[in-house]
Amino acid sequence: MVYNNDHVENTGRREGMPLDEDGNGRISLAELGHALETVGIKMPGYQLREIVSKFDRDGDGSIDMQEFKRLYEDEKSKRDIGVTFKKRVKAREGVDTLGGTSNASVEGTTHSVRKAETVAFSNWINTNLKEDADCKDLLPIQGENNELFDRCKTGIILCKLINKSAPKTIDERTINKTNLSVYRRHENLTLAITSAQSIGCSTVNIGPDDLDAGRPHLVLGLLWQIIRIGLLSDINLAHHPGLIHLLEEGETLEDLQKLSPEAILLRWVNYHLRNAGQDRRINNFSEDIKDSEVYTYLLHQISPKDRGVDLSPLREHLVTTGMFMGRRNRGRLREKTIGGLASGLGVGSMVEMIKMTREHDVWRGMIANAMRHGTR
């Protein structure tokens, strides 16, 4: 039952259930427990004593009806689930929530975009296209103020990234680079979308109007697919002859060539785990690797010895957490393993990529990068 101030006052006046039992106009410590129970609040004795000392402004060991009303409102608010929920559930930091972006989805639909993703993608583009003369007027992109979405409107950056990930997919003579009217921008964006689809990106519900409007969740989604394909494009025997060591008993080179890049990466990670003397093996790049332990062992195996990469992050983690791997502690260990990636392999660009929310693909991308730079 929900009570209000009128109920509290009326209850104090009713003869059948008085709050002030001795009728002196004040509620003593002895009467307070019963008075609170009358209006639906039960409290232990030690809390009652603390409350009296807090609300008893006269210092006589009792409170009057006005003080009791304030006490009731204070305690009721603590027990109000709605109030407590609002206080404890805070908005996620660094995340922009956008409303629906089409006539069909505007009602009741939201999309979340992490600011760190925007920064990470901007840095990636700045690093990989900085030598491209056609992009000099578009770069560098300042990720902090959402320039990324505006700079992608011309379609030039998207087309260039596609060719970076899958060379010669687009004949660059077909890209409009000057006099970029709405019509010529749309030609570029249509070219980018169809080309992205041809290299394996999902472009469902992404149109040139969406990209020209700079709709963040669609722009970021397409960018990440293009970048991911580039990260995994050279995981093959031609680029990494050493992958021949991944052959299992009874297999031939043809069998290895039939494996997808992801399957090769999984086998490569397990190969190094075995060499590290670990019994653990992984079957995916999501649940099996999110605690960061596998990546810590992998970095130790492949980093040059003179870089000083060791297992200290893992040992420190196990000591401080008592072998318990909570979400927060996984994050701390991951930060240390990322530090190992940067210092041990000299790879700065992938460190930014870990800030993104697509964790499954981030770990896979990091391992792909480790394969390129590992020496052992």
- Write the pLDDT tens digit of every residue in 217-254: 999 999 989 988 887 777 777 777 888 888 988 999 88
What is the arithmetic mean of pLDDT over 340-362? 44
> In the block, which residue shows the tokens 């039939």?
258
**Are 110-232 and 241-373 equal in CATH topology?**
yes
Q: How confident is the model at residue 313 (pLDDT cuts 50, 70, 90)?
A: low
What mean pLDDT is predicted for residues 306-317?
69
Type of residue found at 180: L
pLDDT of 264 reads: 87
Q: How far is CA 100 from the centre of its chain?
A: 21
- Look at domain 110-232 and name its CATH class: mainly alpha
- For residue 190, pLDDT beyond 80: yes
Query: pLDDT grade, residue 348 (50/70/90)?
Result: very low
Which among 116, 61, 43, 21 is positioned nearest to 359, based on CA atoms? Answer: 116
> What pLDDT sits at residue 327?
46
What is the Cα 354 distance to its own chain's centre?
A: 9
Mean of the per-residue pLDDT values for the chain? Answer: 75
Q: What is the pLDDT of residue 109?
A: 57
The answer to whether residue 141 scores a pLDDT higher than 80 is: yes
Q: In this structure, are residues 147 and 217 in contact, taking their beta carbons and an 8 Å threshold?
A: no
For the chain, what are the domain ranges?
A: 5-88, 110-232, 241-373
pTM: 0.56
pLDDT score for 144: 84
Dump pLDDT digits (tens) for 302-311.
777 777 777 7
Query: Residue 260 — pLDDT band, cuts 50, 70, 90?
Result: confident
Q: What is the mean pLDDT of residues 151-159?
A: 97
CATH number of 241-373, picked from 1.10.3720.10, 3.40.190.10, 1.10.260.40, 1.10.418.10: 1.10.418.10
Right CATH for 5-88 from 1.10.238.10, 1.20.1560.10, 3.10.50.40, 1.10.357.10: 1.10.238.10
